Amino acid sequence: MKEANKLNLEKSFKEFELAKTLIPGGVAGIRRPYNFVPGEYPIYFEKGKGCRITDLDGNEYIDYLCAYGPIILGYREEEVDNAVIKQIQEKGFCFSLTQRHQDLLAKKLTEIIPCAQMCSFVMTGSDATSLSIRHARSYTGKKKVMRCGYHGWHDWCVEVKGGIPEKLYEDIHEFKYNDLDELEQLLKQYKDDVAAVIITPLGHPLAMKIQEPKKGYLEAVKDLTHKYNAVLIFDEIRTGFRVSMGGAQKYYGVTPDVAVFGKAMANGYPIGVVVGREDIMKEGESHVFVSSTFFPNSLGYIAALKTIEILERDKVLDKIWEKGKSFNDGVKKTLNKYEMVGAEFSGIDPMMFITFKKDPDNIYKQKRNEFYTQLIRRKVFLQPYHHGYICYRHTKDDLDYTLNAIEESLAYLKEKYHR
């Protein structure tokens, strides 16, 4: 199989050199080039529409990263954008007092999310997970937190510890997904001081295979958490409004005490929310402080209300699951055909990931880089260390093209490594 031609990314790289003189690292965190394949992926996007994005050099891609999850419908979704524009033009969105759209959205969330009796709105996923921990600690009067998953960039959970005193995370203890024994041992060890267990109901560790819960796992996590009088928190920042309208908690049939949502809720507009049992959430009336100049801004609420309306009206998630199943069945079939390459599929129909089996000589890292290099050169935008998503605007032609690109990329690896 012929190697795909390298992309022209001259403008993107030139802009990045300028950015490094103005911004630490040029761009922030997970968007830095080393989180892709350096020299092969663009660094800047210019525009997007539907499921397609165009970089600074004019290269157009079929996008499966979906802005790391917020794009559930598609880029520049007119109904959502027009609702926001109307609010800006006719009423405004930033005031000293709150607009009623907050209440409208809260009411809707209590109707569709199983654990939601009350809601507290923020702007990012990190805000939401941190606020949920504050609620749990206030409610229980305890301080230890057991965590499983990525919960943001705030001091208590960020993976890179530079600039953070140990005392700010010394009460946080990690456990592995689907490992009930490890969680139970931690709970036994800190039994009198455990405030919360926070977990992603679907396991999606960075650069590793997606894991669905083993049979009975989430139920057992809930039972254990309550045995030690702690608060169970589901981090549904990624699964919310994508796995089901009620989140993974509804899909898997396990209702936590508290949950956090964001990303896909507003199709790209910034919003996050903590939802949960009334008695726990009411800690926010006087015992837990939450305030921000921008939390009450109504644009995220407007976008979320319209996005949810479209999701329900057009049965969007049913269609995403249908597209995802067809696509993922094709991916699995193709990976089986090129089994010798070592590529592995994981995920559920709306969220998929292609990783590579580890080997003693770390050849899998070279294969991973070359596979994703071939994909990006074929104008398919997936991330080597992060799972992808199916959005509403992906068409059958888009998915078929991508399956072909995946096969060609695997065929290239086969010829190079397994002649």
CATH number, residue 102:
3.40.640.10
2 within a domain of the structure (yes/no): no
41/186 same-domain check = no
Domain boundary pick from 252, 282, 313: 313
The confidence score (pLDDT) of residue 187 equals 98
Read off the pLDDT of each residue in 230-258 and give the average, rounded to a whole number.
98
Residue-number span of the structural domain to which 218 is assigned: 78-313
Domain count, the chain: 2
Backbone angles phi, psi at 30, to 5 degrees: -70, -10
Sequential DSSP letters for 312-333: HHTTHHHHHHHHHHHHHHHHHH
Same domain, 307 and 333: no
Task: Clarify whether residues 55 and 164 are in a common domain.
Answer: no
Task: Find the CATH number of the domain harbouring 45.
Answer: 3.90.1150.10
Mean pLDDT, the chain, integer? 97
1, part of any domain: no
What's the confidence (pLDDT) of residue 2?
82
* Tens-place pLDDT, residues 161-182: 999 999 999 999 999 999 999 9
Residue 419: predicted pLDDT? 76
Helix (H, G, I), strand (E, B) or coil at 115: coil
The verdict on residue 218 lying in a domain is: yes
Confirm whether 5 is domain-assigned. no
Share of the chain above pLDDT 70, in %: 100
Query: What is the per-residue pLDDT across 186-242, written as a single tens digit (0 to 9) for each?
Result: 999 999 999 999 999 999 998 899 999 999 999 999 999 999 999 999 999 999 999
Q: Looking at the domain assignment, is residue 250 inside a domain?
A: yes
Among the candidates 313, 328, 363, a domain finishes at: 313
- The pLDDT tens digits of the residues spanning 349-388 come to 999 999 999 999 999 999 999 999 999 999 999 999 999 9
Q: Shortest CA distance to 274 belongs to which of 117, 412, 60, 40?
A: 117
Q: How far apart are CA 267 and CA 46, in angstroms?
A: 18
